[in-house]
């Protein structure tokens, strides 16, 4: 009589052999024990506050971790296709984090490296800041002068498909990873925009070099555009202010700081940018689960604009670090906030390195403006609401004036006034352009900001005189 071999049942696809069962129990015990060691460590801390409750919590945690081990074992053994242990563990970790809020996530070693490169100001991709909402990828903001902005993507757009494949079911990290790729290759995004039928946009990937600060002079106003908050931002702001002050001198009547479609970035840069406009007072406070770890950051003396009036532009694409700057300057009445309601991201994410060069992005605190308000899911309300609009010049032709009338009296203060001229022919629309508006501001919100600063300067001069 032949002795049965230990692998007979495995050959027919039946129950696992005894060695296999033992190996799976070992894997399960290792996974559960590792997690339990962390959980029990937390239970010891809880025990300091209440002994009986700590024991109950530890027991409940053990049951939940045992359930996790059961699921891991069954998926590994019975899923229709073979899946590596590494992929299962990574998916479990990512699922844990993404279930908390839209901004917490797991970063693989590659994603972590990409993130570190991005904060330095240069990386490969489409040039778009996104978040996850209702299972779809939502555009927070396209970055200026990138393939995404040139393709016409707008804040609030939903990306439903990537190269025809549905986004629903992907994690944010997975979706971002698929949008990245070799420079010069293309990807087709299916966009769902409010009150429009879904449409496809083909975008070619490129090296994204972010110049976080740009500036120019608009007659007597200094215009500074901050596209993101990376390691270059504060230095760029200081250089821009210095150049504008040198160019305009005493003719400088104010600054427009444009934070529209700025998705945020580094917290320390948002703080230093805000500090550049304040002499004193709180900039931002952060409060986590442990009240003992709450922190407040205060401004240091020194306003780089010397008190020059400031208008800050925001819109629905202004998020996170942008809202810290706008909220602080608004609360201190240092600037007038103009535009539309901001995005409303009032939480702080901390990057926590993990073994294997991976990391996790975890929401660890909420931030509050100097007045103590949280803008989470609310955003910053502008002092003056100005919707995005298209400026269209309407040609009315030349109207008859008093000086055009036959026999009109001459102005006694202008003895050299020319004789009245017959009415001019009405020009066709667009035929004539005013010399004063050789470079008209087509950006309606920016035009309003510039007018506001000029009006304020004019009013101040009249009051003084």
Token look-up 């024990």 returns 33
Q: Record the tokens describing residue 1, joined without a space.
A: 């009589």
Q: Pairing mode, if any, of strands 221-226 and 254-258?
A: parallel
Contact indicator for 247, 281 with CB cutoff of 8 Å: no
Secondary structure tally for the chain: helices H, strands E: 11, 19
DSSP string, 4-34: PPTTHHHHTT-SPPHHHHHHHHHHHHHHHHH
Separation between Cα atoms, residue 281 and residue 260, nearest integer Å: 25
Q: Record the tokens describing residue 422, joined without a space.
A: 């017959």
Q: Give me the residues paired with residue 206 across strands.
A: 125
Separation between Cα atoms, residue 210 and residue 248, nearest integer Å: 27
Query: Burial, 339: exposed, middle or buried (Cβ in 10 Å; 0-12, 13-18, 19+)?
Result: buried
Classified as helix, coil or strand, 381 is coil
Comparing CA positions, the residue from 57, 32, 31 lying closest to residue 44 is 57
Token look-up 């694409």 returns 317
Q: Pairing mode, if any, of strands 384-385 and 122-125?
A: unpaired
Separation between Cα atoms, residue 421 and residue 443, nearest integer Å: 36
Which sequence positions are flagged as catalytic?
Answer: 320, 331, 345
């Amino acid at each position: 009589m032949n002795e049965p071999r230990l692998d007979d049942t495995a050959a027919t696809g039946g129950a696992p052999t005894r060695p296999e069962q033992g190996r799976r129990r070992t894997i399960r015990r290792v996974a559960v024990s590792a997690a339990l060691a962390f959980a029990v460590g937390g239970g010891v801390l809880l025990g300091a506050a209440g002994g009986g409750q700590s024991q109950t919590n530890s027991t409940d945690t053990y049951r939940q971790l045992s359930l996790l081990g059961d699921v891991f074992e069954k998926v590994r053994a019975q899923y229709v296709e073979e899946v590596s242990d590494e992929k299962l563990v990574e998916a479990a970790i990512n699922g844990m984090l993404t279930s908390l809020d839209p901004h917490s996530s797991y970063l693989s070693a590659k994603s972590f490296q990409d993130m570190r490169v991005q904060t330095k100001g240069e990386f490969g991709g489409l040039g778009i800041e996104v978040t996850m909402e209702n299972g779809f990828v939502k555009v927070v903001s396209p970055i200026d002068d990138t393939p995404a902005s040139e393709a016409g993507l707008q804040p609030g757009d939903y990306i439903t498909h990537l190269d025809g494949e549905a986004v629903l079911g992907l994690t944010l990290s997975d979706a971002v990873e698929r949008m990245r790729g070799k420079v010069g290759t293309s990807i087709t995004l299916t966009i769902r925009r409010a009150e429009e039928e879904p449409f496809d946009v083909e975008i070619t990937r490129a090296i994204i070099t972010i110049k976080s600060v740009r500036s120019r002079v608009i007659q007597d106003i200094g215009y500074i555009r901050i596209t993101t908050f990376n390691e270059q931002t504060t230095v760029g702001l200081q250089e821009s202010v210095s150049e504008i002050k040198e160019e305009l001198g005493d003719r400088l009547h104010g600054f427009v700081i444009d934070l529209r479609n700025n998705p945020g970035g580094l917290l320390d840069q948002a703080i230093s940018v805000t500090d550049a406009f304040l002499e004193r007072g709180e900039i931002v406070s952060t409060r986590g689960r442990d009240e003992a770890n709450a922190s407040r950051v205060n401004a240091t003396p020194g306003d780089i604009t010397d008190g020059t009036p400031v208008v800050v532009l925001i819109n629905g694409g202004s998020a996170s670090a942008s809202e810290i700057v706008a909220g602080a300057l608004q609360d201190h009445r240092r600037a007038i906030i103009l535009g539309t309601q901001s995005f409303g991201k009032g939480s702080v994410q901390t990057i926590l390195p993990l073994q294997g060069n991976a990391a996790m992005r975890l929401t660890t605190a909420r931030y509050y403006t100097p007045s103590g308000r949280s803008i989470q899911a609310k955003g910053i309300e502008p002092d003056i609401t100005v919707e995005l609009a298209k400026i269209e010049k309407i040609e009315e032709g030349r109207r008859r004036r008093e000086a055009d009338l036959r026999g009109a009296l001459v102005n006694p203060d202008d003895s050299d006034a020319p004789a009245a001229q017959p009415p001019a022919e009405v020009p066709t629309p667009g035929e004539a352009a005013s010399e004063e508006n050789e470079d008209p501001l087509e950006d309606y919100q920016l035009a309003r900001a510039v007018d506001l600063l000029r009006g304020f300067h004019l009013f101040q001069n009249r009051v003084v005189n």
